[in-house]
Structure 1
Amino acid sequence: MNPQTQSSAKPQQAAANPLAALHQHGQAPWLDFLARKFVADGSLKTLIERDGVTGVTSNPSIFEKAIGGSSDYDASLRKSEEQGDRDVMSLYEALAIEDIRNAADVLLPVYKATNGNDGYVSLEVSPYLAMDTDATIAEAQRLWRAVGRVNLMIKVPATDAGLPAIRRLIGEGINVNITLLFSQDVYQKVVEAYLAGLEDLVAHGGDPKKIASVASFFVSRIDVAVDKLLDEKIKAGAKDLAALKGKVAIANAKLAYQHYKRLFAGPRWDKLKSKGARTQRLLWASTGTKSKEYSDVLYVDELIADDTVNTLPPATMDAFRDHGKVADSLEKNIDDAKSVMSKLAQAGVSIDEVTRQLVDEGVQLFADAFDKLLAAVAQKRAAILGKKIDPQSWKLPADLEKSVKATLEQWRADGKVRQLWTGDAKLWTNTDEAKWLGWLDIVADESKRLDQFKALANDVRQQGFTDVVLLGMGGSSLGPEVLAETFGVQTGGPRLSVLDSTDPAQVRTVESKVNPAHTLFIVSSKSGSTLEPNVLKDYFFDRVKTAVGAEAAGSHFVAITDPGSSLEKEAKRDRFRHVYYGKPNIGGRYSVLSAFGVAPAAAMGLDLPRFLNAAELMVRSCGIHVPPAENPGVALGVLLGAAAKAGRDKVTIVASKAIADFGAWLEQLIAESTGKHGKGVIPVDAEPLADPKAYGNDRLFAYLRLASNPDAAQDKMIDAIEAAGNPVVRIELSDPYQIGQEFFRWEIATAVAGAIIGINPFDQPDVEASKVQTKELTSAYEKSGSLPPEKPFFEAGGISLFADARNVAALGKASSLVGYLSAHLKRLQPGDYAALLAYVERNKQHGESLQDIRVMIRDRLRMATCVGFGPRFLHSTGQAYKGGPNTGVFLQITCDDAADVPIPGRSYSFGVVKAAQARGDLQVLEQRQRRALRVHLGSHVAGGLAALKDAIRQALE
């Protein structure tokens, strides 16, 4: 039978139709197939009228073939997706429920004609819940209500967890089809669950006449498993066992039917029967013959008896209609069936072990089929969304491609995406990871708070603020900076600036660009105790007081912090204009889609619904039920993790100019999350592109391209890098507002990479170590009025060198700056990277000088290079530099401040804080046995950087 064309087949007389004749022997033929067109075009109705089909079963594999293998569902999928707030599971369920309802309606006349004994359609609970009783019950109840048809059966597996669910559901008046039944012993437990459920129903005043259930024995799978074991023994010389092949499944079924007759007899059953209860019919499932050695209708011919059901796949139904033999076969040769089972045991094959294994395999097979089904829905959804979702693709070397595919499959088989979304800490290091996953749901949460953020946007405009300055560090500052740099000043809105430095010149530069009387300052700190935003707040609060008076100063400030923090208390004390709260279960670097990013976005006047709605599309694309290969965030994370383990642990971030600042946020996310315990991924941001010859084999390139603002030269260079055999990930944004999608994609990817690498991606132990060192140094300054003395090991031309004894010894003796720099750079080995850590003002001139230096090192040594401005990078890449793989060679660059800036209410200045941070940074690098050298330039930074650049050029010659 071709289900899609069956309605055009010529009717046959029942007498000449073995399929229709099954009813004469008390067996109900059900169809193991369902598809939308098959119901809509009348094919199912034809089977009912012509062949006596009285029921339909479905399963994930059936739905996958129907949905993924045709365009019949595309219109419904598009409509459901347009309604919004749909993940792949809800999209699938909407399709399945519609099909199940339609099939149930076609079968309703059968249901009525048989007084509810037949005419059922079965729908399966998620196979992912097979080992969870409560979740199975909840899902069965939900599906029962959603379908809303009396002739529905909910399929529940006969697992240990499924048995109590069966009793509960029957007791609530829900029809149940018990699946994955193989064992005689388990069958008795299934019947017990059914009887007990009926008794519960009666005890609560329910009507057992309205309940129907089938116990589905899976037949052919038993022969497949047993025959394999028998073949092994036959090869070993037990030739007589060949007679048992193809006999065990039927023998098992025959004995199960004998159990059925005994179990549905006696006083207990009679009492229920007197109230109208129906027997729980045995249903033969998996009746398509798997071996060509056996008749294609073997599991129909031999399993016919009164009060049974056989659910046939289309091909088996066709075959039985053509040449099936109808007879009361199930009760024939019972002694032979007992003999088969006895001989099997004597041969050393345990049917109990076989059936237990089949249940485990069956659960996994159903889950595999469900994965495939949801993958098909995800693919369809992605096609519907088109450019609304940023497409991702990659080209990899063969060995890495193989590793990625294997890891994706392992993640799918192990259900690791579900582990991630349910907060199973065992996915990582089984410590505190579950406490830090609030970012998974934050887009939906913040969307519910849109009115609060819109109020901020309106307030900023009504008050006439021309500037908004965000004071923060790390995760609190880098996300807002991306938004400011990507979107610029919005029409009628203020300019958003970010200050995340204690460099006095940097502070002065920001101050010079704003009028405190017309500026709103956002103090952003999760803990409220972070040094940098606190001292910056002190400074600018004092400036605002001078400009507008003490009483009005607080109205120029907004706080973003976690509930109960010291910043919250301070904000209320100083009468801040607003306080917005983050979620304590989101770490700073994962907070960009929370209030820490959304409030600044509102203040600058971004279209928040557009921004969050775009982000939500990616959240659903990366959702709990999207299999890894179709899950953009998980797939990317698998690639990052697999590449790192294969030695490609330098992720080189390349982005279109209009979205280039995204790299700074991503750099922090990857480095601070993965770089610890000697493992990790080293992000390389803003390194100018070069000829492929400039790169080693330790790179993975991530190219974020803005389609609306392409750069042909950049595209060409990426093409060349890829053509040279380097792995390249390409992500294309059609709209800058889709940058929110990239925040979430990379958050998922980083969490997944952490799991593969084997670290906790939510802690930052070495960042804390730097804070401790800085605190010790500032405390020393408060006591003595100066930082502890230090002495360079080399001085010349106004430049001084500092290092601990171990690093000085490794450099050896040199007579010049060039000599020491040469010795330092020679410490770089294949697979290493060079990092320039500059505690100077982050401006264009200094940035260009540092870029020139990094390019010289990269091109001469073919090493990955990083540049960080301190103290900004301490809350970003600093974690990976200290805690990640010991493959970095660090050149710290410090200077004397031409003009220091005091901090109101503190005994130390911004210059002292910056110096303490730089020294603390170097000390922790040295404690972690890193190859580190500090170069102190004096007070003329531009000249010092020029001299350093020249010395490095000579050192590389």
Structure 2
Amino acid sequence: MRPIRLDAASYRPFVAPEEVERAADVVRSLHPTLVERRSESAMVGWLDYPSRIGEETLGGVEAIAERVRRDADVFFVVGVGGSSLGARAALEFLGRDAAAPEIRFVGEDLSPTSLVEALEAVRTRRVVLNVVSKSGTTTEPAVAFRLLRETLETAVGPAEARRRIIATTDPSGGALRAMAEAEGWTSFDIPRDVGGRFSVLTPVGLLPMAVAGIDVRRVLAGARALMAAPEGTDPAADDPNRYAMLRHILYLKGYAIELFVGFTPRLSGVGAWLRQLFAESEGKNGRGIFPVTGKYTTDLHSIGQYVQDGRRLLFETFLWLEDEGVDVTVPDRAAADGFDYLRGRSLQWMNEQAMWGTYVAHRNGGVPVGRIVLRDRSPEAFGALVMFFERAVALSGMLLGVNPFDQPGVEAYKANLFALLGRPGYEARGEALQAEIAALLDRR
């Protein structure tokens, strides 16, 4: 049995059989375009990377991870977006073993608060920096890395600092690759044909996983199980494609927001990765489903009222983990709290009843609810989860008629930031922006 599966029946009664069949014909026509790597973008190397990653790369990741585990108290991942969210999701889902160093993520924003504690750790603890960026020119991680690197060199000297810096970047081009080669840092490649948000199963995510003590070979094995539909399978019946198809039918009916919900904190990082994966892949040309995330049952006490009785513009995707790997049982003795009916019951069982109770309440209230079920918290399950959603979002973008592998809207923000910060070559844009901002302030 695959480690992850779609509960397609959960979409009833919001999706009719005839709608599914019409959409299935479209999926059958688009599926070969993706699998045969003939999409409008060449950025589809993630589709088979778990099979084509070489032993040199995989063994190198494992060897360097072991060195980090011996030498470091703190391992910093310096990156933003696709350079950090996938690794963070893996660590929250799978955890780290007792021998692993503390793993921190920095370079995700420009707040000085985020860097103060990190810089102090560099001064006082044994640290290794893993700077992750395809180009090396993304502002947030570049600024954080510059500060961390300078502090590290002051603390341990330039020679030892070089041994404690690892760059994960483009194979041959870009500022970070040039620095890595000039300084002699250990480095790993981000494949040219894999975009950031699809890079979880490359050294971008594999190195932090291995440092945490996660068996990355098992992660890749789980991904391989979901890389493509088994031979002879109707593409429209394969779970990742079917999920993409069902959510697209809901989109055409006006459901423009998808609320991804986990019932365990272990899935919070997965939710953050999904938010980027779907927003950057689909949100183009005035189209796309807006992804938001929640954690039940916690958020039932905040947004639950709106979901139950608010405007009918969203649908939910429940991420249900069948086995969290731990459990707690209510003591089997009487108490005066009115909850004796739960004596001897486990929290896992109660959580499942909460999931089903929420599912029925929201569906009866007019909210479409789909379920994606994870078997357990194994490395295979995480690898399968990543490949499931990467395949699904690629097809979803194609169903929308957009390129799911670029992010032109992000570049607009970056250009404005460069201009306002005074980057050379952006002077004219900077002057125009300053004038626009001044006019806005005057109108206040």
TM-score range, shorter chain: 0.7 to 0.9
8 Å CA contact 2:123–2:151 kept in 1: the answer is no
Match of 1:717 in 2: 358
Match of 1:506 in 2: 114
Would the alpha carbon gap of residues 643 and 779 (structure 1) be closer, same or farther in structure 2, given more than 3 Å must change? Answer: same
Q: Are 1:542 and 2:160 matched, yes or no? A: no
Match of 1:489 in 2: 96
Alignment of 1:104-503 (within 5 A): 385=1, 388-394=2-8, 395-398=10-13, 400-402=15-17, 404-411=19-26, 414-425=28-39, 432-433=40-41, 435-446=42-53, 448=55, 449-463=57-71, 465-499=72-106, 500-503=108-111
Deviations 1:222-262 (A, max 9, x none): xxxxxxxxxxxxxxxxxxxxxxxxxxxxxxxxxxxxxxxxx
Q: CA deviation at 1:515?
A: 5.4
Q: Helix, strand or coil for the counterpart of 2:77?
A: strand
Match of 1:144 in 2: none
Distance 2:273 2:165 in 1: 24
Supply the AA of the counterpart residue of 2:236: A
Supply the AA of the counterpart residue of 1:618: L
Match of 2:404 in 1: 761
Distance 1:625 1:507 in 2: 52
Task: Give the TM-score taking structure 2 as reference length.
Answer: 0.83
- Which stretch has the larger CA shift, 672-681 or 515-524? 515-524
Alignment of 1:691-710 (within 5 A): 691=305, 692-709=307-324, 710=348
8 Å CA contact 2:129–2:165 kept in 1: the answer is yes
- Which stretch has the larger CA shift, 450-459 or 467-476? 450-459
Q: Are 1:732 and 2:373 matched, yes or no? A: yes
Match of 1:121 in 2: none
Q: Helix, strand or coil for the counterpart of 1:635?
A: helix
Distance 1:424 1:447 in 2: 24
Give unmatched runs, 5+ long, in structure 1: 1-384, 426-431, 794-801, 809-957
Match of 1:566 in 2: 175
Match of 1:653 in 2: 260
Distance 2:230 2:282 in 1: 22
270, 274, 283: which is aligned to 1:666? Answer: 274
Q: CA deviation at 1:699?
A: 1.4
131, 134, 137: which is aligned to 1:523? Answer: 131
Give unmatched runs, 5+ long, in structure 2: 325-347
8 Å CA contact 1:501–1:507 kept in 2: the answer is no
Deviations 1:540-580 (A, max 9, x none): 0011011101221111111111111321110122222x200
Q: Helix, strand or coil for the counterpart of 1:583?
A: coil
Distance 1:677 1:599 in 2: 35
Supply the AA of the counterpart residue of 2:112: P
Distance 1:663 1:474 in 2: 13
Match of 1:777 in 2: 420
738, 747, 769: which is aligned to 2:390? Answer: 747
8 Å CA contact 2:20–2:246 kept in 1: the answer is no
Would the alpha carbon gap of residues 804 and 419 (structure 1) be closer, same or farther in structure 2, given more than 3 Å must change? Answer: farther
Would the alpha carbon gap of residues 649 and 790 (structure 1) be closer, same or farther in structure 2, given more than 3 Å must change? Answer: closer
Distance 1:643 1:755 in 2: 16
Match of 1:607 in 2: 215
8 Å CA contact 1:654–1:704 kept in 2: the answer is yes
Q: CA deviation at 1:777?
A: 0.5
Q: CA deviation at 1:516?
A: 5.9
Q: CA deviation at 1:523?
A: 0.4
Distance 1:456 1:476 in 2: 18
Q: Helix, strand or coil for the counterpart of 1:618?
A: coil
Match of 1:644 in 2: 251
Equivalent pairs, count: 400
8 Å CA contact 1:676–1:759 kept in 2: the answer is yes
Q: Helix, strand or coil for the counterpart of 1:563?
A: coil
Q: Which has the larger radius of gyration?
A: 1
Q: CA deviation at 1:761?
A: 0.7
161, 170, 182: which is aligned to 1:553? Answer: 161
Q: CA deviation at 1:441?
A: 0.4
Would the alpha carbon gap of residues 560 and 398 (structure 1) be closer, same or farther in structure 2, given more than 3 Å must change? Answer: same
Distance 1:407 1:752 in 2: 16
Distance 1:512 1:396 in 2: 50
Q: CA deviation at 1:526?
A: 1.2
8 Å CA contact 1:652–1:701 kept in 2: the answer is yes
Match of 1:588 in 2: 196
Distance 1:479 1:543 in 2: 27
8 Å CA contact 1:702–1:729 kept in 2: the answer is yes
Q: CA deviation at 1:700?
A: 1.8
Supply the AA of the counterpart residue of 2:357: K
Q: CA deviation at 1:679?
A: 0.5
Supply the AA of the counterpart residue of 1:572: E
8 Å CA contact 2:7–2:373 kept in 1: the answer is no
Q: Helix, strand or coil for the counterpart of 2:109?
A: coil
8 Å CA contact 2:226–2:384 kept in 1: the answer is yes
Distance 1:562 1:625 in 2: 37
Q: Helix, strand or coil for the counterpart of 2:201?
A: coil
Distance 2:416 2:67 in 1: 41
Q: CA deviation at 1:791?
A: 7.1
Supply the AA of the counterpart residue of 1:392: L
Distance 2:402 2:364 in 1: 33
Distance 2:115 2:320 in 1: 33
Distance 2:80 2:235 in 1: 33
Distance 1:626 1:515 in 2: 56
Deviations 1:902-936 (A, max 9, x none): xxxxxxxxxxxxxxxxxxxxxxxxxxxxxxxxxxx
Deviations 1:159-207 (A, max 9, x none): xxxxxxxxxxxxxxxxxxxxxxxxxxxxxxxxxxxxxxxxxxxxxxxxx
288, 294, 315: which is aligned to 1:680? Answer: 288
8 Å CA contact 1:484–1:497 kept in 2: the answer is no
Distance 1:531 1:780 in 2: 11
Supply the AA of the counterpart residue of 1:570: M
8 Å CA contact 2:312–2:366 kept in 1: the answer is no
Residue identity (%): 27
Q: CA deviation at 1:789?
A: 7.7
Would the alpha carbon gap of residues 715 and 771 (structure 1) be closer, same or farther in structure 2, given more than 3 Å must change? Answer: same
Distance 1:757 1:624 in 2: 26
Q: Helix, strand or coil for the counterpart of 1:652?
A: strand
8 Å CA contact 1:517–1:544 kept in 2: the answer is no
Alignment of 1:795-806 (within 5 A): none
Q: Helix, strand or coil for the counterpart of 2:287?
A: coil
Q: Helix, strand or coil for the counterpart of 2:291?
A: strand
8 Å CA contact 1:671–1:682 kept in 2: the answer is yes
Q: Helix, strand or coil for the counterpart of 2:104?
A: strand
Distance 1:681 1:666 in 2: 12
8 Å CA contact 2:23–2:249 kept in 1: the answer is no
Distance 1:572 1:631 in 2: 44
Would the alpha carbon gap of residues 613 and 515 (structure 1) be closer, same or farther in structure 2, given more than 3 Å must change? Answer: farther
Distance 1:791 1:589 in 2: 32
Would the alpha carbon gap of residues 507 and 527 (structure 1) be closer, same or farther in structure 2, given more than 3 Å must change? Answer: same
